[in-house]
Structure 1
Amino acid sequence: MSFSDAAGGLCAGVTGTLIGYPLDTVKTRMQTSASPLSMFAVGGGILKREGARAFYKGVATPLLSLSVLSTLNFTCYSYLKSSFSDPASGRAGPLGILSAGALCGPVAAVFSTPEHLLKTKLQVDNAAASPRFTRGSLHAALLLVGEGGARALYVGAASNLVRESVFLSTYFLSYETLKAKLSPAVGLSAIPVAGGLAGALGWFVSYPLDCVKSNVMVNGGGRMLEVGRSILREKGVAGLYSGLSPSIARSFLVSGSRFSAYELGKRVYERAFPDPNHRRQ
């Protein structure tokens, strides 16, 4: 773990949030819609009825929190991966990488659950007959805390914790594996390609959990398994993958740019503040 990992993680968080938020809004609307709709139908409807600004409603909270979360995820993963590394080679094997990513999940969930809750509430608010959170993220947080206390910001925490662990373990293992295989052939292009593919795969694997999480948060609670069974009864297996298209598109764009920003930010920091221990080696 180092300050360079933190610098790279911060760059990754800001870049990924701004690029991916509109598609995340479309995904959330699709997940919580009573009837199945295509990505283009939902996106076109938002643009027509609510205007382009609606795609970024609630972006302030994730822009701040995801920047912090991304910094935390990358530094935590870097530290845990080094803990699982083989002393002789200094490298972690697939199981070590998978374990490091999974163990980042509980830490990430502490910070990401309130962000996901507020983001989800704001993303579906415009579609409601009587919008409640018209003044943004802080307004929404104050209303929720006023009604249910601080615990109201952690509705869906269990489902989000499981989702984070599944996603991050898949995400980092896929990236490390793909980057190693692609780098000899395509050089630096391996970073955005491996990052994009890792994000898409991570979301595909964890997506049913994300769908359950969104519905738990929108409905104000409920047990993860019960909500999952309810979605299966009402919509079938396809219901657990509602909104997958914008998520895959978003995750490819966001993860490709996120890992590129991470690697760039890390290199810029290391050049600006070189480690004297590295110079002596």
Structure 2
Amino acid sequence: MSSSVLAESFGGFSAGVVGTIIGFPLDLVKTRMQTAQGAGGSGSPTLLATFRHIVKSEGLGALYKGVATPLLSLTILNTLNFTSYNHFKRSLHGSGDSLSGLAGCFLAGSLAGPIASVISTPEHMIKTQMQIDNRRRGGALYTKGSLSAVRDILKRYGAGALYRGHQSNTIRECAFLGVYFATYEALKSGLPESKLSVPVAGGCAGAVGWVSSYPLDCVKANVQGSFPEKAKGIIETGREILRKRGIGGLYSGLTPSLIRAFLVSGSRFSAYEVGVWAFNSI
């Protein structure tokens, strides 16, 4: 393995750890809002109402409920995302300095999507089940942590259950990563060089990436959140959301997602760049 790949892997590892710790509480709020279970079952919960309801009814610790699985998987995922993106970018000769270069960056990010989906689908599935555990009839089911939830789902439903929503998540990953990396490359090269250029470019990349792929994320969350009921397809789930909540239903939880995306992506790209620099310095 070349030194550049090792440096990118170390940078991705750093990005995964930092981004997960910073962004997880907002991700939990977003999931509750997407599944319309944010504030005591309200159909249109707000960011602050959802946050207050979680803290009041479940305690501060609930903001990190289910964090163990994403902390592990997102560290692996970001390592894969950054290394696979750079691999595909080099293969496509995308420099990011021209329109053709940016198109190459978008394609390289999109090609990383199916690889990312293999890791992120089960991570999202377990995280979603943990995050909506408060609304189960008869009380919470997964009270002993993420690993216990994994074992329980495997025992009850088999390994295939961990890949509920894989199709919608793969499409979402392709859309998100393509926009994510292309936006970062464009802004990083376009902004005046300073200590803020990386976090600002990274934060904007995360926000733009989430806006472009958010309806797919909402569909995916509802497909996974309906478990263990019979799985519905992407189109059927999308139509159901539109019928019950209108077009705005596809953007439920967008506010915490954008805040989270800016903070997490800004810190994630900063951690990546610092990690690559530190590795190369050693």
- Inter-CA distance 5–92: structure 2 relative to 1 (3 Å threshold): farther
2:205 to 198, 208, 212: 198
Counterpart mapping for 1:223-238 below 5 A = 223-238=233-248
TM-score, normalization by structure 2: 0.92
2:183 to 171, 174, 178: 174
| Contact 2:94-2:104 at 8 Å conserved across structures | no
Tell me what 1:29 maps to: 32
Q: Give the superposed CA RMSD.
A: 1.7
Counterpart mapping for 1:1-281 below 5 A = 2-33=5-36, 35-85=43-93, 93-129=101-137, 130-182=139-191, 185-220=192-227, 221-272=231-282
| Contact 2:169-2:217 at 8 Å conserved across structures | yes
Q: Deviations over 1:260-281 (max 9, x none)?
A: 0000000000010xxxxxxxxx
Structure 2, unpaired ranges of 5+: 38-42
| Contact 1:82-1:92 at 8 Å conserved across structures | no
Query: What is the percentage of aligned positions where both structures have the same residue?
Result: 51
- Inter-CA distance 188–156: structure 2 relative to 1 (3 Å threshold): same
TM-score, normalization by structure 1: 0.93
Q: Deviations over 1:43-102 (max 9, x none)?
A: 000011100000000000000000000000000001000011169x9x970111111000
- The residue matched to 1:247 in structure 2 has which SS? helix
Q: For 2:206 and 2:156, how far apart are their aligned partners in 1? A: 36
Q: For 2:270 and 2:100, how far apart are their aligned partners in 1? A: 22
Q: For 1:188 and 1:225, how far apart are their aligned partners in 2? A: 44
Number of residue-to-residue matches in the alignment? 269
Q: CA deviation at 1:197?
A: 0.4
Tell me what 1:277 maps to: none
| Contact 2:184-2:202 at 8 Å conserved across structures | yes
